Amino acid sequence: MIAESEKVHDICFVQTGIIVKCINLSSEEKLKEAAKTVFLKKGFAGTTARDIADAAGMNIALTNYYFRSKEKLFVEIFRDLFELYCTNTIKILDRPVELKEKIIAIIEEDYRMMKEEPSLVLFIMTEIHRDCENLLPELSKYKELLKGKLVGHIQEAVQKGIIRNIEVEHLMPIIIGSLQFIFVGKNMHMKMHSMSEAQFDKYTETHKNHVIGMVTNYLFTDLNLN
Amino acid sequence: MIAESEKVHDICFVQTGIIVKCINLSSEEKLKEAAKTVFLKKGFAGTTARDIADAAGMNIALTNYYFRSKEKLFVEIFRDLFELYCTNTIKILDRPVELKEKIIAIIEEDYRMMKEEPSLVLFIMTEIHRDCENLLPELSKYKELLKGKLVGHIQEAVQKGIIRNIEVEHLMPIIIGSLQFIFVGKNMHMKMHSMSEAQFDKYTETHKNHVIGMVTNYLFTDLNLN
DNA sequence: AAAGATTTTAAATGTTTGTTTAAAATTAAA
DNA sequence: TTTAATTTTAAACAAACATTTAAAATCTTT
């Protein structure tokens, strides 16, 4: 028997050598973390209950004991990840800075998120493609949040003539699409140009800078030319 | 019974007016077409042998009779679809027109292809993510073709000062990324903005025009500003 | 029309799937 | 320390899975 204090998967907050707080990840949490990793890698259809149990180092029955079914566990994880995908952008819109600065910050933050979880976007798109209705019942929440925080700002900027007149539905894809595409096709691009992980990191950073230039150039300059 | 001469999907080898050999490909082709549809919709892991047989209206054993296994059939279909994905772009590069015109033509052609097969890009990215090594053993073929046809043209244009100095590895994603992203996230965007299929068509066309403006603007104008 | 080759079928194969069960092990409460 | 509640386990479950088989049906050749 392993003593409680020796169990792995604890998170300890240490300040100047002293353990301030020590949280023992419960079996339920360990299972969910392991499942998240596997689902992100293999998707819902490609993941078996045994994959999850193996990744967590736990018994095959525990998924159903804690989450009742593979699908219920998946939906829980998907909701978390979709919120991560959406709220990153939304919280930036609250910053009290200029629109151009905001848009650059969105791209930078999006880049940071994808660098941390490169398969997140492909995962979300794949699973929505598979089962849109069940996975996005509350999409309108994010939709309203995003629109509410953008529309006013955009209209004001359009009237002032500092930004191109663009529908809000097109603005976000214009801003984030090109960079997210690179991560969606990560494996293809890596194989295509024979890149290592480190080289891919450099590649995406360069690409991010191209995107910042391209997007701001299009939205904020030469409005009379097109 | 339908007479042999009236059957569709026959391929006949004729030499000096005489039928030397006549192969009826109907069942094999029907099966492959049905499998292509199902794989595009559900992916490899989400598709069962029964899904394919049902879609083709044929017996469950025929996949193995004609293609030996579900995976061999899948690989065959994936190769076809990946070629479709790549060669569309490559053949445009042969046109004897200016670089700017070529890039616009690539976007237009890409748009046409995705309108015809909206789930193609997501399918390719998902499957490469799942099994890159097995699915892309001959990727270098397309890589060389693409680079060979672009590099010279780009370098020349850069020297003439008519295009921004950009690495060829970044050029294609800059051109096609933003628009392909819209189709990768088709279901999400449709649900997000409560669009019908017809409305999505209009949406993508508008987006395509934004992309053309944005890309050409970035690549061909104001080179001194950034 | 008969013989031979090919295609299609229904049934069965063994494996893997998600899930359940009931007992064992562990933890918490008395 | 004993009892009760909870967690973990190994085993079993039916259903679904890809694939195979051998017979039936169809087509081609003679």
Q: What is the DSSP string of A61-117?
A: THHHHHHSSHHHHHHHHHHHHHHHHHHHHHHHTTSSS-HHHHHHHHHHHHHHHHHHS
Residue of higher predicted confidence among B200 and B20 = B200
- Of B139, B134, B119, B144, nearest in space to B200 by CA: B119
pLDDT over threshold 70, residue B224: no
Mean pLDDT of B182-210: 97
> pLDDT value at position B75?
97
CA distance A206 to chain B (A): 8
Q: What is the DSSP letter of B20?
A: E
Separation of alpha carbons B204 and B202, rounded Å: 6
Residue A206's pLDDT band, with cuts at 50, 70 and 90, is very high
pLDDT over threshold 80, residue A178: yes
* Nucleotide nearest B58, from its CA to each C1': C8
pLDDT over threshold 70, residue B20: no
Nucleotides in chain D near protein beta carbons (<7 Å): 7-12, 16-22, 26-28
pLDDT over threshold 80, residue B12: no
Interface contact B188-A124, CB threshold 8 A: yes
CA distance A76 to chain B (A): 18
pLDDT over threshold 90, residue B38: yes
Residue A11's pLDDT band, with cuts at 50, 70 and 90, is very low
Looking at the C1' of nucleotide D17, which residue has the nearest alpha carbon?
Answer: B48
Interface A-B, measured as beta-carbon pairs within 8 A, has a size of 153
pLDDT over threshold 90, residue B61: yes
> pLDDT value at position A224?
52
- Of A204, A220, A23, nearest in space to A121 by CA: A204
Interface contact A226-B207, CB threshold 8 A: no
> pLDDT value at position B197?
98
Separation between the CA of B157 and the C1’ of C20 (whole angstroms): 68
Q: What is the DSSP string of B131-159?
A: HHHHH-TTHHHHHHHHHHHHHHHHHHHHH
Q: How many CA atoms lie within 13 A of A203 on its CB side?
A: 24
Beta-carbon contacts of residue A121 (< 8 Å; ≥ 6 apart): A85, A114, A180, A183, A184
Strand duo B10-15 + A18-24: pairing: unpaired
pLDDT over threshold 70, residue A123: yes
Contact, A206 CB vs strand C, < 7 Å? no
Please state which of the ranges B5-9, B100-104, B195-199 shows the lowest mean pLDDT.
B5-9
Ramachandran class of B122: left when φ > 0, alpha when ψ lies in -120 to 50, beta otherwise: alpha
Residue A147's pLDDT band, with cuts at 50, 70 and 90, is confident
> pLDDT value at position A137?
85
Kind plus residue range of the DSSP H or E element containing B5: none
First CA to last CA across chain B, in angstroms? 72
Q: Is A195 helix (H, G, I), strand (E, B) or coil?
A: coil
**pLDDT tens across A79-101, in order?**
999 999 999 889 999 899 999 99
pLDDT over threshold 90, residue A169: yes
Q: How many CA atoms lie within 13 A of B155 on its CB side?
A: 6
> pLDDT value at position A190?
96
Listed ranges A72-81, A156-165, B130-139; the one with the highest mean pLDDT: A72-81
Which one of A144, A214, A216 would you mutate to disrupt binding with B, by most B Cβ within 10 Å of its Cβ? A214
pLDDT over threshold 60, residue B114: yes
> pLDDT value at position B9?
38
Identify all chain B residues contacting A187, using CB atoms and an 8 Å cutoff. Answer: 128-129, 132
Residue B115's pLDDT band, with cuts at 50, 70 and 90, is very high
**pLDDT tens across A37-67, in order?**
999 999 999 999 999 999 999 999 999 999 9
Residue B26's pLDDT band, with cuts at 50, 70 and 90, is confident
In chain B, the domains with their CATH numbers are 25-68 (1.10.10.60), 78-226 (1.10.357.10)
Interface contact B132-A225, CB threshold 8 A: no
Mean residue pLDDT across chain B: 88
Mean pLDDT of B134-157: 88
Mean pLDDT of B128-154: 90
**% of chain B surpassing 90 pLDDT:** 72
> pLDDT value at position B125?
98
pLDDT over threshold 80, residue A23: no
Mean pLDDT of B149-168: 90
Separation between the CA of B8 and the C1’ of D22 (whole angstroms): 30
Separation of alpha carbons A176 and A165, rounded Å: 18
pLDDT over threshold 70, residue B121: yes
- Of A175, A94, A85, A159, nearest in space to A128 by CA: A85
Mean pLDDT of A138-158: 88
Identify all chain A residues contacting B206, using CB atoms and an 8 Å cutoff. Answer: 167, 170
Quote the tokens at residue B126: 């998902």
> pLDDT value at position A24?
56
pLDDT over threshold 70, residue A114: yes
